[in-house]
Amino acid sequence: MSRYTLLLAALFLALPSFAQVAPAPDLDDPDGPHERLIIRGGILIDGSGGPPRGPVDIVVEGNTITRIVGVGSPGTPINPDRRPGGATREIDAHGMYIMPGIVDNHLHTGGVPKAPEAEYVYKLWLAHGITTGRGVGFGGMEWSLSEKARSERGEIAAPRMVVYARPGQGEDWEGGVDTPEQARAWVR
């Protein structure tokens, strides 16, 4: 096989890695944040290393957990007098476990060959408990920043995104970053 044929074959096989992943579609009916959401009766794994506890009622006001109330003990009836009130929305978590979201510090959307639509990847991450991710390769810098902004505004179902770029990446930058002056200019 000639060098020319090998070069053409290598270029052909590398083409999919340069394709851009399709951005996630907008949410038609976003749910939340709620004025006062109460998650009722779940067993809490709080991430401290201690045993699960509960059942508990978790009060979320806006986007902030404001109270975690023990409402009983495993195997005993829930004490209705201990339950917080005033919910604008309730989620029944009886028989379920509740834990903090997972932060993944090394995520890739996978690119067109593996996952041509970012929405699919975001939903997989959320389904696996990832609520915050640091993107090593979400896509191009501008695309990644756009998806991050859409996630922050609640326009798409996606984890919180921390966009990471190697120095010198971005549409408006040409060349490397080899000096402190270039680094300051690139950051700006």
pLDDT, tens only, 67-116: 999 999 888 889 899 999 999 999 999 999 999 999 999 888 876 666 67
What is the CATH number for 179?
A: 3.30.110.90
Give 137-146's long-range contacts (Cβ < 8 A, gap of 24+).
137/108, 137/109, 137/111, 138/21, 138/107, 138/108, 138/109, 138/163, 139/20, 139/21, 139/109, 140/20, 140/169, 140/171, 141/165, 141/169, 141/170, 141/171, 142/170, 142/171, 143/20, 143/21, 143/23, 146/23
In the chain, % of residues over pLDDT 70: 77
Q: How many domains does the chain have?
A: 2
- Give pLDDT, residue 23: 64
Query: Is residue 5 assigned to a domain?
Result: no
pLDDT above 50 for 14: no
Boundaries of domain holding 54 = 34-98
Flag whether 163 is in a domain: yes
Specify if 27 maps to a domain.
no
Q: Are residues 144 and 167 in the same domain?
A: yes
The candidate with the shortest Cα–Cα distance to 89, out of 40, 143, 155, 27, is 40
Per the CB < 8 A criterion, the answer to whether 89 and 128 are in contact is: no
pTM comes to 0.65
Does residue 54 sit in the same domain as residue 136? Answer: no
Taking 90 as the threshold, does the pLDDT of residue 56 lie above it? yes
Same domain, 125 and 149: yes
Residue 16: inside a domain, yes or no? no
